[in-house]
Homo-oligomer: A and B are copies of this chain.
Amino acid sequence: MKKKAVILVSGGMDSCVTLAEALAAGFEPCLLHVNYGQRTEKRELKAFTEIADHYQIKHRLVTDIQHLVKIGGSSLTDSHIEVTKADLQNQEIPSSYVPFRNANILSIAVSWAEVIHAHAIYIGAVEEDSSGYPDCRKEFFVQYEKMVELGTKPDSKIHIKTPIITMKKFEIVKRGLELNAPLNLTWSCYQSEEKACGICDSCALRLRGFRQAEVEDPIPYLVRPVY
């Protein structure tokens, strides 16, 4: 019997390629999608569902958390804070940073993993292209795994897998194509839901990734600046 893995699938390109990696590694996939009040929540859920359907994966857990909106502090969850235009040279933490989001989402994944006896949690965090979010760095996940080891039952062994963490965006595009991941179904824009805006941080990183991979991004954009 295959070992189970909980895979965090937002509906974006990174988590789609991460899912493809988990499948390639031979895990039985259990998909977790968390709505945390982000602007493009509905569009992301649509992408999640289409990706899960594409792979015919039945084990799915979709859940809503409201506290990140109540807490605020990020342009992704607070409509009073502007989504800043991309500035890929800027070294500061951008306004889209949602405080401690990955830890919140991972804790849900661990609770689920413990109950269904999963051996791994896959998360599509990317260090270099992560816009400087502190909870996207490799050492954060290493520390998180140690904390999980101490905070779960003695017979639970849950590894945190970050297969694309050291990749650059163009490498993720290439890897996705190699693994036949359905990149056409993914959604990355922080701002729009019909066509991607082309100007937020996330669109900029994605468009630059496709340009550097020398492939055309299959999703529709309002504008397609060259990054």
Contacts and interface: CB of A to CB of B under 8 A. Distances in A.
A64 interface: yes
A135 B151 contact: yes
A115 B71 contact: yes
Contacts of A139: 150
Interface residues of A, number: 43
B67 A111 contact: yes
The interface residues of chain A, by DSSP majority, are classed as helix
A153 B134 contact: yes
A1 B107 CA distance: 33
A67 B67 CA distance: 13
Given A104-B108, A108-B104, A152-B100, A143 B140 contact: no
- Can you tell how many copies of this chain the complex includes? 2
Given A65-B67, A150-B143, A101 B111 contact: yes
Contacts of A134: 150-154
A154 B135 CA distance: 11
Contacts of A68: 111
B111 A100 contact: yes
A222 interface: no
